[in-house]
Each structure stands twice: as C-alpha cells, then as structure tokens.
C-alpha cells in the first residue's frame, strides 16, 4: 500500500493555488471576519444562491425539494411546488435535512474494524483499501459457499444500487424492511383481491372524499405532506372523519367521531361492517355485478360476524357499527376505509388488511372521485443489463418505491430444479412464506436465517442504511446474526447500533450531496423526479452508485454497472423516455398531466382494468390463489391476546418530527423531541403511585425491560400504554440520541403473521412499575 492511499491524519491539506491563482483582495470582508462571535451579519455581502432539485430522504413519502446553496453550502430546503407528493410543502423533518449533511456525528471516512466485532474499535482507511477488502471478502464467501451466502438489507431512498450489486453477485437474498416489518399485509391484501398496489404514495382521492373511516391511520402525526394536505383539504371540503385508535392521537382530536377500540380487534369491527353492508344491501350493486367475484361465498362466511358479536370484542357499540355502515353507504363511492400504513400488529394482519380491501370494494370506491384513483405512470425504462442469476430477485421498481409485482411461486425446497437457491427468508417459497413478496423479502426472517444459518449458510452481510436493532424486534437474533457472519460491510450516513458491528464501514454522502437514480411515481399525474447535488460531499464520503460501481468493477461485475457515472445512467434512462438529464435538471420533475378520465374511469363511462395474481380479471373477494393454499382462512377472525389485570397492551407509533430510528440524533429534530415517554392512563398511574415525569420500568413477559419517563394522560385506554418509536439508542457515537428514552423494538412482539411471515409486533403484553 502506497502512502498516497493511506489515510493520513496529518497529510497536507492543501492542493495549492486556487483556480484564480492570484491572491484575492481583502476588501469586502469585514476586518473582524474571523471573530465568529463578533462577525457582523451583512446581507449585502452575501453571495448569490444557486438552486437545485431533489427529493427528500427524511421519511418514505419522498417529497419533491428545491435546495438553495450559497458558497458551496446548502443553506435552505424548500418544497418543489410542482411535485405531487407535497406541492411545495416541507415539514420539520424535511427542514432538518440540512443537519444530516452538517451533523458532527455523521460517518466521515471509510473505517476498518480493529477490535472485536461490535466493540467499536476502528481505524480509518482509504477508499481503495475499503473497496479492495470488501470485494476480496465477498468473493471469498462466494467461492466457498456460493453467491446465495450473501444477504443484503437496504433501507433508504438510495439503496437501489446495492440491490443491483447483490443481484449481480448472484444472490436472491436482498431485502428491505418495507414488507415484513411494515406494509406487507396491506400491500398483499390489495394485490390479492384487486390486483392493485395501494401503498407507498397511496392513490387515495383525499380532497374529494366525503367519509373517512380511519383504522388508526394517524395521518397528522405520520406527517406525509401530500397526504396530510389532501386529508386536511378533504375535511375542509366537508368530509366526515371517524377515527379508531386505542390512543387519542392528534388525528383523533380532529375527528367527528372517535372510538377507543380495544387493541388488536380492528378485524372484528371490520367483519361486522362487512356483515351489515352485505345483509342490509348497502353495497354498490352495479360495481359488484360488473367487477367482483366471490360475493355469495363471502356473504355466507360473514354471517356469524354480527355487530352484536363484535361489540364485546371491540367495545364498539353494535348500534354504532350499523349506523356507520349506513352513513358510509350513503356517501359511497366518495368514501374509503383508511388503512393503517404499518400493518404488522396482530396475529392476523392479513385478514385485517383483506377486510379493509373488501369493504372498499363493496362500496365500489375503485376508480371513483373521492375514492381510490387510478394512477398514471411516467414510463422510464430501466437501463439494459445482462440477465440476473435469480429472475425473482430482479427489483423492478425505481427509487425504492413500494411497487408490488405479482410474485412468481417457485417450488418447494431451498433450490429449484436448475439448482438455483430460493430466498433464505422463505419469501415466495412454497412450504414457507409463499405469498410474501420475493422482491422485498421478509427482513425479520432474513435476520433469523443469518442467526440460525438455516435453511442454508448466509456468511456475508451487506447493509445499506437501516438499523436492525431498532426496526426489528429481537435483539438476540440480530446480535447473533451480526456475530455469526464471516464478513459484514455497512454503508450509511450516520452511525448506529447495527453498523457498529461492521468489519468495513463505508460513509455515504447525504442526499443533499449527490445524484441518485430517478424517482418514478404514479399519482393522478405520472411523474419522474431527479435528485441533484446541492453541494460537494463533505468529508471523505461517496454516493451509493459510485460505491457499488467501484465494488462491481473489483468483483468482475462491471457489466451490471455499464455507465461511467451516475449522471450518464440518468441521461441514458431519461433519453429512453424522450427527455434528458439536462432537461430534467431545469425543472426537477417531468409530468404527465392529471387526467380525470384515466384517474376516475368509472365516473367517465370508462372501465376498470383488473388482473389479480390468481389471473382473475375481476376482483376476488375470496382470492382463489389463497383458497388453493388454504390461506383463505385468514378471512376469519382470530382471537387476540388479552392482558392480565396488571398488564397492558404495548403500542407504539409516530410523531410528526421523527422518522424510524434515524432522526433522533439530528440536533434539529431532537430539539423538538429529545426522548420518548410512556403514555399511561391516570387511574393506572395512581394505582402504581406514578406521577407525571416519574421514571417507570416497562417489562414484557419475556423479561425484556426498559426505563422511561411517564406521561400520565386520559388520552389512552386503561389497558394500553404507548410510546413514540425510534428512541432508546445506546450507540455512544450518537451523542444526542444516546440514552434517551426506550426502544419499543425491545418490547414489541416478534411473533409472525401465520400466512404472510410479517411481524405481529402488537402482541406484546407489558407491566409497568415505578422505579
């Protein structure tokens, strides 16, 4: 290794003369310029700002951005008024994006582990050494165990090149938490019944809806700008809001009616709604006749689920269930049951999800104004690439969107007839989790496969963003997986508990400092948006595409990264779509205009095109594919766990200014909320001698526990506690987030949905005591 490649703490910092060559005059700078504390602010002397376009990485809604820079530094983030995800609005999280780039704690240099794995002893190395080592170690694993022994877990709007690299490497084992830990059962429900994807950026006609039946969709505090804006406009336009949640959230406070439904019982309520809608003939008869099969069978199946049956289970009065069904029917089709975004709660999330899709279908909301619109797609072809080893692993989406494609159902066993390995997490594999999405996989089951080395050895792990500890729910499995693999390479912008275990740590440039692959979305308008760098990458960081290209080149996989730069790739893709990089850089987003005839075909004499994974051209209320597998039993209600008298249901959720477990160390968002607290009902608090602000211990039946401050409030059911997700970091490198609050992930259940394989996080029962 030459000294040139070596990281050199004291190497010469200067390149030499600036481009101008000669020294600039001192005029124009106040004489006290270097005394930061005395420096006068003189707006007249400020340089001009430049403006670039991007899309946000602070949460998964991915709002369009305009970023202003001055003097080589991004200084202000605004919304792109043309972008349908936010129409110019940026939230607190979005504004705090600048501190992702300027965070003192961000990862700055490639690092190599020198202590024990997870101990946190590192040395800085050059990019060349980091990439050489990574390529060498991955090829070693490939040679010894085969390409399937690599797992890739990605979580960020920049993870796409890593998936491509892993697929090129030859492994089917690429995964993102979006399916198994978040939206899986919901996406699957709409797919199985309607052949539609209804998650990611939801295609709901919020502005024109007249009746929102919201199953814990906390739209004001999850805070996706376009969604919140649309919902607020819908309410302003006179929509009725009926909100269900064990906790009186901000959204509940804006509702016309609020039901503190018993935790985990949404499915029982929804089945009773279906029962009333069918028996009282409140459904859209024309729509059912033309577009739906399985109605009679469904009618038979739901007869036992009367409102009177549901009342003691859900604590929602039977007479209200009947009334709500009638009210909704009167406003249909400008109505919908608003699904929770994350549907990984009960022991039958799939059934819950399907009952939501069924109700929406009975009300005939598809393709109708005020219901679910049909999105348009801006067609931007992918680049031409050689075939991947695993066809099912080929990720077809763009920019990380949740675009659900029909799963191919492979054979049983771990290998197919050609000797190609099936996914280790069992997603899309007969006999394991056949209906789980094989492109996103089951991240929870991938961790388990690594920890247990079953059904076959996974010996190398690559992560692109994410935090296994705080987004999954079993520390033992995550830790064991991280300790078991032969080689672990992590790339991220920030340090966290998971990448602490890496052998090689690759620092990513933040989303303000780079190009990324295109954002291709489907709203009323079809659109494609670009992410441009607002400044050069700080420190010694690089963007995902460059890192993956440089790894591909070192592993003989250059054919999968045929361009010399990400800009070339973008230009290539855009030219195939009849535009160019230069053109999109001027406006940030290219759009096909909204078209009511296409968005709302049934309001304009058009037809709805349906194709379900089972091959039906009509909506399948009882999907035939599920019946073949015996999975249609998910339609039936399953009894849920109940707390003992001294226990609580453990619930968690979002707040408007934090996302997942990735913003708690951002000093700007932390300024709004530094730690989470435990919501507990005043009666239960009094019983335990707990007062507001007291430190309490929360422990589950498995003996896991955490200490957190109490928020004593009547805004929650007596049998339920709540905490905001994403806190409880213990990585000392996160100097702001470290030790603040408790991680819900260490208290939530790690049971799995028996049909989907996604997690059933809400099954956990906990005790609370004063410390």
* Interface residues toward other proteins, by CB under 8 A: 3, 6-18, 20-26, 29, 31-39, 71-73, 98-99, 101-105, 108-109, 111, 114, 120-124, 495, 500, 536, 538-540, 667-668, 671, 731-733, 735
Minimum distance of other proteins from residue 172's CB (angstroms): 33
Minimum distance of other proteins from residue 69's CB (angstroms): 11
Q: Which is nearer to other proteins, 218 or 550 (CB)?
A: 550
Question: What gap in Å lies between CA 355 and CA 301, rounded to an integer?
Answer: 12
Q: Which is nearer to other proteins, 14 or 417 (CB)?
A: 14
Minimum distance of other proteins from residue 68's CB (angstroms): 15
CA 627, chain centre distance (Å)? 30
Q: Is 112 exposed, middle or buried (0-12, 13-18, 19+ CB in 10 A)?
A: middle
Q: Which is nearer to other proteins, 144 or 536 (CB)?
A: 536
CA 1, chain centre distance (Å)? 41
Question: What gap in Å lies between CA 66 and CA 588, rounded to an integer?
Answer: 8
Q: Which is nearer to other proteins, 110 or 234 (CB)?
A: 110
Minimum distance of other proteins from residue 505's CB (angstroms): 8
CB atoms within 10 A of CB 542: 22
Tokens, residue 743: 């991680």
Question: What gap in Å lies between CA 91 and CA 422, rounded to an integer?
Answer: 41
CA angle 625, 631, 636 (to 5 degrees): 125
Minimum distance of other proteins from residue 599's CB (angstroms): 43
Are 175 and 440 contacting, i.e. CB atoms less than 8 angstroms apart? yes
Q: Which is nearer to other proteins, 15 or 396 (CB)?
A: 15
Minimum distance of other proteins from residue 92's CB (angstroms): 15
Question: What gap in Å lies between CA 574 and CA 568, rounded to an integer?
Answer: 10
Minimum distance of other proteins from residue 367's CB (angstroms): 48
Are 239 and 211 contacting, i.e. CB atoms less than 8 angstroms apart? yes
What are the DSSP E strand ranges found in 617-712?
619-620, 648-653, 677-680, 695-700, 705-712
Q: Which is nearer to other proteins, 475 or 730 (CB)?
A: 730
Q: Which is nearer to other proteins, 321 or 734 (CB)?
A: 734
Minimum distance of other proteins from residue 565's CB (angstroms): 16
Question: What gap in Å lies between CA 202 and CA 193, rounded to an integer?
Answer: 17
* Cα separations in angstroms, 742 against 182, 184, 724: 20, 26, 9
Q: Which is nearer to other proteins, 443 or 666 (CB)?
A: 666
What crossing angle do the helices spanning 349-362 and 266-279 adopt, rounded to 10°? 30
Are 719 and 263 contacting, i.e. CB atoms less than 8 angstroms apart? yes
Q: Which is nearer to other proteins, 73 or 323 (CB)?
A: 73
Question: What gap in Å lies between CA 40 and CA 378, rounded to an integer?
Answer: 49
Question: What gap in Å lies between CA 507 and CA 488, rounded to an integer?
Answer: 14
Minimum distance of other proteins from residue 540's CB (angstroms): 3
């Amino acid at each position: 290794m030459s000294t040139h490649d070596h990281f050199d703490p004291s190497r010469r910092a200067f390149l030499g003369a600036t481009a101008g060559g000669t020294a600039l005059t001192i005029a124009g700078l106040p004489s006290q310029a270097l005394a930061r504390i005395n420096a006068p602010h003189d707006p007249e002397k400020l340089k001009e700002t430049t403006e670039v376009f991007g899309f946000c990485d602070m949460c998964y809604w991915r709002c369009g951005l305009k970023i202003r820079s001055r003097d080589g530094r991004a200084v202000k983030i605004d919304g792109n008024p043309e972008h349908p995800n936010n129409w110019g609005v940026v939230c607190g999280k979005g504004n705090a994006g600048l501190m992702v780039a300027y965070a003192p704690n961000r990862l700055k240099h490639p690092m190599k582990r020198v202590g024990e794995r997870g101990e946190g002893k590192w040395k800085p190395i050059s990019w060349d050494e980091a990439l050489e080592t990574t390529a060498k170690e991955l090829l070693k694993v490939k040679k010894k165990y085969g390409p399937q022994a690599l797992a890739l877990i990605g979580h960020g709007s920049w993870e796409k090149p890593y998936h491509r690299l892993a697929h090129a490497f030859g492994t089917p084992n690429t995964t993102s938490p979006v399916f198994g830990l978040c939206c899986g059962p919901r996406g699957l429900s709409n797919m199985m019944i309607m052949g539609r994807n209804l998650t990611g950026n939801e295609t709901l006609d919020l502005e024109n809806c007249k009746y929102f039946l919201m199953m814990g969709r906390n739209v004001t505090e999850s805070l996706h700008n376009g969604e919140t804006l649309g919902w607020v406009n819908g309410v302003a336009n006179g929509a009725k809001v009926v909100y269900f949640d064990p906790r009186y959230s901000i959204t509940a406070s804006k509702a016309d009616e609020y039901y503190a439904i018993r935790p985990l019982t949404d499915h029982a309520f929804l089945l009773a709604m279906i029962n009333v809608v069918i028996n009282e003939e409140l459904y859209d008869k024309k729509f059912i006749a033309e577009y739906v099969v399985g109605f009679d069978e469904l009618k038979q199946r739901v007869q036992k689920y009367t409102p009177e049956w549901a009342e003691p289970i859900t604590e929602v009065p039977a007479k209200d269930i009947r009334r709500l069904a009638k009210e909704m029917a009167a406003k249909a089709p400008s109505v919908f049951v608003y699904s929770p975004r994350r549907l990984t709660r009960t022991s039958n999330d799939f059934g819950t999800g399907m009952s939501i899709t069924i109700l929406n279908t009975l009300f005939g909301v598809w393709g109708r104004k005020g219901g679910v619109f049909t999105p348009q797609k801006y067609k931007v072809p992918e680049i031409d690439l050689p075939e991947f080893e695993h066809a099912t692993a080929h990720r077809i989406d763009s920019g990380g969107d949740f675009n659900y494609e029909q799963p191919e159902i492979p054979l049983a066993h771990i290998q197919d007839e050609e000797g190609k390995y099936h996914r280790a997490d069992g997603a899309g594999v007969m006999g394991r989790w056949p209906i789980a999405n094989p492109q996103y996989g089951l991240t929870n089951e991938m961790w388990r496969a690594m920890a247990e080395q079953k059904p076959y050895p996974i010996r190398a792990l690559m992560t692109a963003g994410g935090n296994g500890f705080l987004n999954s729910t079993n520390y033992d499995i995550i830790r064991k997986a991280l300790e078991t693999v032969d080689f672990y390479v992590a790339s991220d912008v920030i340090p966290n508990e998971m990448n602490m275990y890496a052998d090689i740590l690759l620092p990513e440039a933040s989303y303000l400092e780079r190009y990324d692959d295109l954002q291709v979305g489907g709203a009323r308008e079809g659109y494609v948006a670009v992410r441009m760098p607002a400044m050069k990458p700080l420190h010694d960081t690089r963007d995902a595409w460059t890192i993956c290209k440089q790894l591909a080149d070192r592993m003989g996989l250059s054919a999968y990264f045929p361009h010399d730069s990400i800009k070339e790739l973008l230009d290539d893709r855009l030219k195939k779509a009849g535009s160019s990089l230069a053109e999109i850089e001027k406006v940030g987003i290219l759009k096909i205009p909204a078209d009511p005839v296409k968005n709302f075909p049934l309001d304009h004499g058009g037809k709805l095109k349906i194709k379900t994974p089972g091959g039906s051209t009509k909506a399948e209320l009882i999907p035939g594919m599920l019946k073949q597998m015996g999975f249609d039993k998910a339609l039936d209600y399953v009894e849920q766990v109940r707390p003992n008298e001294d226990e609580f249901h453990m619930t968690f959720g979002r707040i408007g200014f934090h996302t997942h477990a990735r913003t708690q160390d951002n000093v700007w968002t932390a300024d709004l909320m530094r730690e989470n607290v435990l919501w507990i009902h005043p009666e239960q608090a009094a019983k335990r001698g707990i007062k507001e602000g007291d430190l309490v211990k929360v422990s589950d039946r498995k003996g896991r526990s955490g200490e957190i401050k109490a928020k004593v409030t009547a805004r929650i059911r007596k049998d339920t506690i709540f905490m905001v997700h994403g806190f409880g970091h213990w990585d000392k490198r996160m100097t702001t987030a470290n030790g603040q609050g408790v991680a819900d992930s260490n208290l939530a259940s790690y049971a799995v949905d028996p049909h989907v394989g996604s997690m059933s996080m809400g099954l956990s029962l906990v005790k609370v005591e004063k410390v």
